[in-house]
């Protein structure tokens, strides 16, 4: 086998996803071209709508914030060896917790109240995804299927409560919960600057990605979690509390997705309603896979896909493409990123290995 | 409630079991075939949505409903073949690919299906098995989707074929012992790609049943998890085609309870009724699975090979 250089692995870690995303963009261009739309105009608008000017940057950053959190909901369980995809359900429950807590505690206000509604959202999301992890550990139920089923159940409960018991009678056309009190909302970071409407949720998302990265890389429990994900049997043999670690990872992930929903309510929608179900949980799955479940890589990837989502409306307005065009691009990206996995370890092996004459002689002289 | 009301409710559930259960039947048969070869295709949810759109589009544009059904099957097969090919690459997980396929199938279907939301397409005919009765309730309950007998036939064919034919044996060998299949000179990946593709075709027929019979139109909320439930049903059916039929009818019945109750005037939250199949699936999974032992009938290579 050819000697692999120390820079090969990190170079591949960067080149493979970039190449895969390039291939996905190429395929997307071909796809719209088949429908009679100019691919170059599409690509151009995609980047203009995402990163073209201050306004599109604001839009992109606002969309990237919840994606970081829903991506963590996939990444943390994935590091423990579980493929959990119930982020959308945890997100709507988080929104419900955030918008619902003031029904129970009407006197909440101020920073403490804001923290309380956010925590309520995170807690509901955490419980929901932890359930998928617990079912897997103690009942052997496939966690991918279970988490998605739980997600559908959560969405049904959400719709039932928002359109029924929790409905604000004043919300006529679009059933919503009562709007969050002004003092409980999350504001913009710097409303008068170039950041515009970008709210503190972005800081929260970044902070949690960094915290998750630090936890996994530098703490004993984070390391234990990665051992469980790498080889559950070995983890059990060395006496790690495998079940507890897996459920913890699921709970933390679910908590992040729940927080995403709560932040969306507190910063953007001000009440829980159907607008929350914009597929942020599903896009988060893709973000996590592109980032290879690495919390450090999640923010830039979330930024990219937040940008594509922001550009979606521009594609719709300027080129008349359906609003699902972003979904198609995401689908292509997902397929490409998985296919690229097959090239890992081979990207640099394609060049001829340099063999020293001495070694060549040794190989030639060796009896076969 | 009076006896008549109970009878009507029962009839509505039985009729609904077939009506709602037909897509479950096709998808679970498709998944059963795929998993028998040793691969999981979680993406059948995406296949279902995509093929429902393609089937509706085909029927609408050609005016011939069976052409639409065929197109639904073929488009399902194409998407599933992508899954089969991707999973044959080294280090590509079938679970992750399934998730990708779910998103891709839905995205493509929503994109291409945009112009299909308004129009009406010709529908799959209903077989009036209740013509002997004078009661309109019996007649409407026994008006059966023409695809349903096809599904029953397919279950019989799969059941017999997997047990008694050379193809069936090779397929099961790829799923139970890929080493044995290799030793006999069969390409395990080839067998699995073929099984996944065929499974996608079958699941695609389920999509046609959704868009061309019940509910009988195309919209973006057409399937919300039926494909996934059907995948879970295969575990409950212990990978046996006949049991898939039973499971599909059970779930069709569960899905029909809500509308049936509403039709006789018992109210309740539609959303909570709609959640019944998900809850039931979860309960069944919890009861069927066990961390200590593998489930009886499970293909050995399933989830082990990756």
CB contact under 8 A, A149 and B99: no
ipTM of the complex: 0.94
pLDDT tens-place string over residues A208-255: 999 999 999 999 999 999 999 999 899 999 999 999 999 999 999 999
Residues of chain B with C-beta less than 8 angstroms from the C-beta of A139: 285-286, 289-291
* Closest A-chain CA to B280: A149
Residues of chain A with C-beta less than 8 angstroms from the C-beta of B272: 156-157, 160
Pure H helices in A182-324:
201-218, 220-230, 232-237, 242-263, 280-290, 298-319
Q: CB-based contacts of B278: which residues, under 8 Å, 6+ apart?
A: A149, A152, A153, A156, B225, B229
Tokens matching residue A292: 């290879």
Average pLDDT of span B229-243: 92
Q: Classify residue A104: in a domain, yes or no.
A: yes
Q: CB-based contacts of A122: which residues, under 8 Å, 6+ apart?
A: A94, A97, A255, A256, A258, A259, A262
Through-space distance between the first and last CA atoms of chain A, rounded to whole angstroms: 17
Residues of chain A with C-beta less than 8 angstroms from the C-beta of B225: 148-149, 152
Residue A62 maps to which CATH number?
1.10.3470
Helix axes B94-112 and A280-290, enclosed angle (nearest 10): 130
Q: Classify residue A9: in a domain, yes or no.
A: no
Q: CB-based contacts of A49: which residues, under 8 Å, 6+ apart?
A: A56, A59, A307, A310, A311, A312, A313, A314, A315
**Count of domains for chain A:** 1
Q: What is the DSSP letter of A265?
A: I
Q: Classify residue A297: in a domain, yes or no.
A: yes
Q: Classify residue B197: in a domain, yes or no.
A: yes
Q: Classify residue B1: in a domain, yes or no.
A: no
Question: Is B82 an 8 Å CB contact of chain A?
Answer: yes
Question: Is B114 an 8 Å CB contact of chain A?
Answer: yes
Closest CA to B30 of B77, B75, B71: B77
Residue A107: domain span:
51-343
Q: Classify residue A116: in a domain, yes or no.
A: yes
CA separation for the pair A225, A191 (Å, rounded) = 40
Q: What is the DSSP letter of B144?
A: E
CA separation for the pair A194, B179 (Å, rounded) = 62
CB contact under 8 A, B271 and A146: no
pLDDT tens-place string over residues B283-297: 999 998 887 767 778
Residue B53: domain span:
22-115+145-288
pLDDT tens-place string over residues A262-308: 999 999 999 999 999 999 999 999 999 999 999 999 999 999 999 99
Q: What are phi and psi of A272, to 5 degrees?
A: -85, 125
CB contact under 8 A, A156 and B274: yes
CA separation for the pair B93, A338 (Å, rounded) = 8
CB contact under 8 A, B282 and A146: yes
Average pLDDT of span B253-260: 81
Helix, strand, coil % (nearest 5) of chain A? 70, 0, 25
List, as one string, the DSSP characters of B199-243: HHHHHHHHHHHHHHTSS-S--TTS-SSHHHHHHHHHHHTTT-HHH
pLDDT tens-place string over residues B11-68: 888 888 999 999 999 999 999 999 999 999 999 999 999 999 999 999 999 999 999 9
Q: Classify residue A270: in a domain, yes or no.
A: yes
Q: Which region among B173-182, B230-239, B266-275 has the lowest average model confidence (pLDDT)?
A: B266-275
A78 prior amide bond cis, ω within 30: no
Closest CA to A246 of A226, A267, A265: A226
For residue B91, CA distances in Å to A23, B31, B94, B299 come to 19, 22, 9, 21
Q: Which residues in chain B belong to E strands, given as ranges?
A: 126-128, 143-145
Q: How many beta-carbon pairs under 8 angstroms link A with B?
A: 135
* Closest B-chain CA to A140: B291
CB contact under 8 A, B104 and A339: no
Using CA of residue B300, residue B283, residue A280, residue B72, what is the dihedral sign? positive
CA separation for the pair A328, A324 (Å, rounded) = 6
pLDDT for position A163:
93
Tally the C-alpha atoms within 13 A of residue B140's C-alpha that lie toward its C-beta. 11
Residue B276 maps to which CATH number?
1.10.3470.10
Q: Classify residue B133: in a domain, yes or no.
A: no
Task: For chain B, give the percent of residues with pLDDT over 70.
Answer: 98
pTM for this entry: 0.93
CB contact under 8 A, A157 and B111: no
Tally the C-alpha atoms within 13 A of residue B90's C-alpha that lie toward its C-beta. 5
Closest CA to B42 of B220, B242, B302: B302
Residues of chain A with C-beta less than 8 angstroms from the C-beta of B90: 342
**Count of domains for chain B:** 1
Q: How big is chain A, counted in residues?
A: 368
CA separation for the pair B26, B8 (Å, rounded) = 27
CB contact under 8 A, B92 and A338: yes
CA separation for the pair A256, A126 (Å, rounded) = 8
CA separation for the pair A270, A60 (Å, rounded) = 20
Q: Classify residue A358: in a domain, yes or no.
A: no
pLDDT for position A123:
98
For residue B175, CA distances in Å to A278, B30, B101, B191 come to 38, 15, 22, 9
């Amino acid at each position: 086998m050819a000697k692999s250089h120390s820079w090969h692995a990190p170079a591949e870690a960067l080149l493979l996803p970039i190449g895969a995303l390039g291939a996905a963009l190429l395929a997307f261009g071909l796809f719209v071209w088949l429908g009679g739309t100019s691919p170059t105009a599409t690509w151009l608008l995609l980047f203009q709508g995402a990163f073209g000017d201050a306004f599109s940057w604001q839009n992109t950053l606002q969309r990237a914030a919840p994606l970081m959190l829903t991506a963590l909901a996939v990444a943390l369980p994935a590091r423990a060896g579980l493929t959990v995809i119930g982020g959308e359900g945890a997100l709507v429950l988080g929104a419900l917790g955030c918008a619902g807590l003031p029904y129970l505690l009407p006197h909440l206000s101020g920073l403490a109240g804001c923290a309380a509604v956010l925590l309520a959202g995170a807690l509901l999301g955490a419980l929901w995804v932890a359930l998928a992890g617990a079912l897997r550990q103690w009942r052997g139920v496939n966690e991918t299927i279970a988490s998605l089923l739980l997600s559908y159940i959560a969405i049904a409960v959400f719709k039932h409560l928002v359109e029924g018991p929790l409905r604000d009678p004043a919300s006529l056309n679009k059933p919503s919960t009562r709007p969050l009190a002004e003092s409980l909302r999350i504001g913009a970071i710097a409303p008068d600057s170039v950041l515009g409407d970008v709210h503190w949720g972005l800081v929260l998302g970044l902070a949690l990605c960094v915290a998750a990265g630090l936890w996994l890389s530098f703490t004993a429990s984070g390391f234990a979690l990665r051992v469980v994900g790498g080889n559950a049997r070995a983890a059990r043999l060395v006496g790690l509390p495998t079940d507890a670690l897996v459920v913890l990872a699921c709970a933390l992930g679910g908590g992040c997705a729940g927080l995403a929903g709560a932040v969306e309510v507190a910063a953007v929608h001000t009440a829980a309603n159907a607008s929350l179900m914009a597929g942020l949980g599903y896009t988060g799955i893709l973000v996590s896979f592109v980032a290879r479940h690495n919390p450090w890589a999640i923010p830039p990837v979330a930024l990219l896909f937040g940008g594509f989502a922001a550009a979606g409306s521009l594609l719709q307005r300027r080129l008349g493409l359906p609003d699902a065009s972003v979904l198609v691009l995401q689908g292509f990206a997902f397929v490409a990123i998985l296919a690229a996995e097959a090239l890992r370890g081979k990207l640099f092996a394609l060049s001829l290995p340099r063999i020293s004459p001495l070694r060549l002689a040794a190989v030639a002289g060796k009896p076969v | 409630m009076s006896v008549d009301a109970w009878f009507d409710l029962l009839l509505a559930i039985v009729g609904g079991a077939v009506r709602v259960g037909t897509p479950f039947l096709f998808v679970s048969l498709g998944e059963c075939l795929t998993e028998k070869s040793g691969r999981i295709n979680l993406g059948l949810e995406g296949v279902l949505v995509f093929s429902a759109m393609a089937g509706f589009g085909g029927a609408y544009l050609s005016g011939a409903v069976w052409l639409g059904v065929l197109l639904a099957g073929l488009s399902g097969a194409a998407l599933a073949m992508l899954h089969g090919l991707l999973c044959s690459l080294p280090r590509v997980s079938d679970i992750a690919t399934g998730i990708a396929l779910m998103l891709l199938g839905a995205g493509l279907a929503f994109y291409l299906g945009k112009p299909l939301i308004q129009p009406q397409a010709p529908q799959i005919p209903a077989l009036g098995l209740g013509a002997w009765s004078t009661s309109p309730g019996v007649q409407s309950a026994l008006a059966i989707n023409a695809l349903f007998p096809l599904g029953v036939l397919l279950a019989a064919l799969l059941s017999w074929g997997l047990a008694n034919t050379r193809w069936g044996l090779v397929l099961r060998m790829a799923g139970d012992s890929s080493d044995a299949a290799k030793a006999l000179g069969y390409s395990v990946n080839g067998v699995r790609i073929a099984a996944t593709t065929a499974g996608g075709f079958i699941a695609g027929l389920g999509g046609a049943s959704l868009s061309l019979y019940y509910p009988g139109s195309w919209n973006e909320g057409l399937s919300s998890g039926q494909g996934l439930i059907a995948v879970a049903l295969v575990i409950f059916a212990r990978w046996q085609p006949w049991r898939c039929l039973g499971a599909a009818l059970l779930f069709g019945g569960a899905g029909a309870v809500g509308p049936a109750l509403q039709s006789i005037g018992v109210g309740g939250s539609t959303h909570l009724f709609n959640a019944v199949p998900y809850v039931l699936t979860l309960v069944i999974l919890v009861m069927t699975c066990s961390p200590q032992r593998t489930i009886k009938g499970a293909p050995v290579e399933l989830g082990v090979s990756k």
